[in-house]
Every structure is written in C-alpha cells, then in structure tokens.
Structure 1
C-alpha cells in the first residue's frame, strides 16, 4: 500500500468558519474522513499547521516515509521560501491544491512561490481539489 501525506497550512484547521462560497462548508475533519473512505487503498497521513517551520519540519522528517505528497500551503503559497525549499528537496511527486481559485482573487495571491515545485496544481474546486489530487497521485504512483 502506498503512503501519501496531505499537508494543510494556515487557517485550514478552521475551514468551516471561512467563506463557504470560496472554501465550501465542510470542516477538514469531514473532508479527511471522506478521503480516507474513498481512497482506502492509500495510507494517508494528515498534517496541519499554522506555523511555517512546523510544515518544513514535517516535510523534511517524512521525506523517506511517503511515496507522494499533496500540499495546500494556504497563504504560505505566496510568501514561504522555506516551504518551497523543503518541497524542492523531495524526490517524490508533489501536487499542490487550493480550495478557492487563487488566480481569480486578490492581487497578492497571484504570486505563487510553491506552485512551480509541484508536479501539478489544482485550484478552485473546493474540497474536490483534494479528491482530484488523491486520484491523480494514485495514478502517478501506480
């Protein structure tokens, strides 16, 4: 069984409190449960942090234990050279996801420091962004 990690950045721990027109209405706990059921042939490790250094430490510590990575860096997409550098060290496929379509949002969300490191990028499909990423990562790994 392949092992993947799904990393969520800042404010994704309070997803259900955010603008549902952009992010959907579910908490990430509900999304997590659905992903685990839908992709029961994958061992999925979930991690969320509002702290940049914790995300880097998780990536660095799990790099030899996982076969693929899905990351929603949240606002760190636009500002974190450190997360970009940690992702760049990986020798596994990485897919970046965003719940909202960040390309159609505020001007400061147009700078994407982490996106170019990823094999692919899925944005704007709310929780379905995670389903699409899991499906595609599974295809890549098989």
Structure 2
C-alpha cells in the first residue's frame, strides 16, 4: 500500500488565480494540486489533495486519517488565525504536520501574525508561494523515511 500524505486547504483557496493575484499569485488550486501530485509521485508518495471552506469538514478529514496516511500538509488559510478545533484535531491524530502559507503572514495585517496551527506543526513554510507545498512534501518524505528506518522524528513530537 503506498504511503499517503494528506494536503488540506482552507477557505477561499478555491479562488486562487483570481483572488488577489498580487498577494497569492496566478496559479489556481488545481495547478498546485497537479504539481503536488507529480512531485509526490517522484517521492513515491500518494498525495490526497483537498479543499474546504468549512472548518468542520477540515476537522473531519483530519480525524478520518487512516493507517496509510503518514503526514499532513495544511494551509488552513483564515482558520490559521481563528481555529482551535483544527489544532486540537491535529494533536489528536498525532501525525507529523507541516503548515504552509502562500503569502508571508508576518508581512501582512497584524491579525494574521498569530497561528494556532504553528504550535502543533513540525514546521511552517510561509511566503514562498506554491513552492512551499513542494518543500513541505520534501520535508514530509524525509520525516517518513527517517521514521521508517528507525532514525525517528527529525524534531521531537509536539507535546499534547
């Protein structure tokens, strides 16, 4: 059974390509999904790429991870700054998670500077556009390989 990585995207990311292209770029979410799947293939990872505008659906998807899902890449979008339920779900499943943001949230409005996701993520990739997703895939592939070889996690698991 192939190793699966779940890539979750939050609200309004379905509008990429036409929503504030000076901030988020001109690529669509479908473009990013195709690039992630192709890169996942090169890394021998199956990429399950999803988007929802609904916080509860994102929580459900996190909770429904199964044995072949070995990591999560999450662009929670606006829920990064408002959701307690999403990081609680990430803690509950205990999978290595990498937070991704297309824009540099620290160079934007002050309410975007705080992330509820960051404390439960192994790392955050911020401000590198769609390239951040591919870098996150590289990092997860390394974490998974290290854990499979007995080296253990690159970084200590997040305390609960």
Report TM bin, short chain: over 0.9
Highest relative contact order (Cα 8 Å, sep 6+), 1 or 2? 1
Could you tell me how far 1:65 is from its partner in structure 2?
Answer: 4.0
SS at match of 2:79: helix
Q: What's the offset of the Cα at 1:120?
A: 0.4
TM-score by length of 1: 0.95
How far is 1:20 from its partner? 2.0
- Partners of 2:65 and 2:31 in 1: CA distance: 24
The answer for the alignment partner of 1:99 in structure 2 is 102
The answer on whether the counterparts of 1:63 and 1:90 sit within 8 Å (CA) in structure 2 is no
Number of equivalences = 142
Aligned partners of 1:129 and 1:20: how far apart in 2? 17
Give the distance between the partners of 1:64 and 1:103, measured in 2 at CA.
35
Greater fraction of residues in helix:
1
Asked whether the 8 Å contact 2:3–2:68 carries over to 1, the reply is: no
Give me the whole-angstrom Cα distance separating, in 1, the residues matched to 2:67 and 2:40: 21
Q: Is the 8 A contact 1:2 1:67 kept in 2?
A: yes
C-alpha displacement of 1:39:
2.0
How far does the alpha carbon of each residue in 1:100-130 deviate from its partner, in whole angstroms, 9 at most, with x for none? 0001100100121111100000000000010
What's the TM-score, normalizing by structure 2?
0.85
Q: CA RMSD in A?
A: 1.1
The separation in 2 between residues aligned to 1:110 and 1:8, in whole angstroms, is: 19
**Which structure 2 residue ranges, 5 or more long, are not aligned?**
146-160
